[in-house]
Structure 1
Amino acid sequence: MSSMTFGQKTFTPTPPEKGSFPLDHDGVCRKLMINYMKCLNVNKNDNSACRIEARDYLACRMDNNLMAREEWKKLGLELE
């Protein structure tokens, strides 16, 4: 018996648009991540209410080479 079904399209995975990023194994940005998650919880997952916390967390990741440096405008976090 074959495991292939006739007429079924094969799935071809594609990498993420921005590529992969390292995990924070050492917990360098853990406190900022927890602050962001708490903010989301308090604000019923309304991420627009947590822009400052998100920016702080992403700044930590960029400062510690856990993600590529990116302009805040491109991340949608350009604060006034």
Structure 2
Amino acid sequence: MSGFGAPGGGAANYKPTPPERGSFPLDHDAECKHVISSYLRCLRRQNPPGRNNEECRLLAKEYLGCRMEKGLMAKDEWSNLGLEFGKTATGDSNVANTADASGSDMKKS
């Protein structure tokens, strides 16, 4: 009978890998909570679940823009984050305008 932590358990070979972009501060002051709440609601509304539509991607862009503005993550190009968009057909959308205003011209640091 082998117990937890016994030889041959396999856990000794596990080597964690660090996140690609390193660690970053949590949003303890809820500075970007309004945006992440909208993004999570958008994800829950998706049918089929897990679909990555443009509305949710724009909210993700707005959230990351908020984090960059508040110093909660390093500024980076949208293309490096997988969030580079062309002009949307609904240019008068508040989500699109806010996302574009949140730092589409940021320089890589």
Q: Which runs of 5+ in 2 are unaligned?
A: 87-109
Superposition TM-score, scaled by structure 1 size: 0.83
> Residue 60 of structure 2 corresponds to which residue in structure 1?
54
Match of residue 75, structure 2, among 69, 74, 79: 69
The reply on whether 1:26 has 2:29 as its aligned counterpart is yes
* RMSD of aligned Cα (Å): 2.1
Normalised by the length of structure 2, the TM-score is 0.63
The whole-number CA distance in structure 1 between the counterparts of 2:8 and 2:82 is 43
Which consecutive aligned stretches of 4+ in structure 1 deviate over 6 angstroms post-superposition?
Answer: none
Structure 1 Cα separation of the partners of residues 39 and 66 of structure 2: 12
Aligned length: 79
Indicate the percent of aligned positions where both proteins have the same amino acid. 45
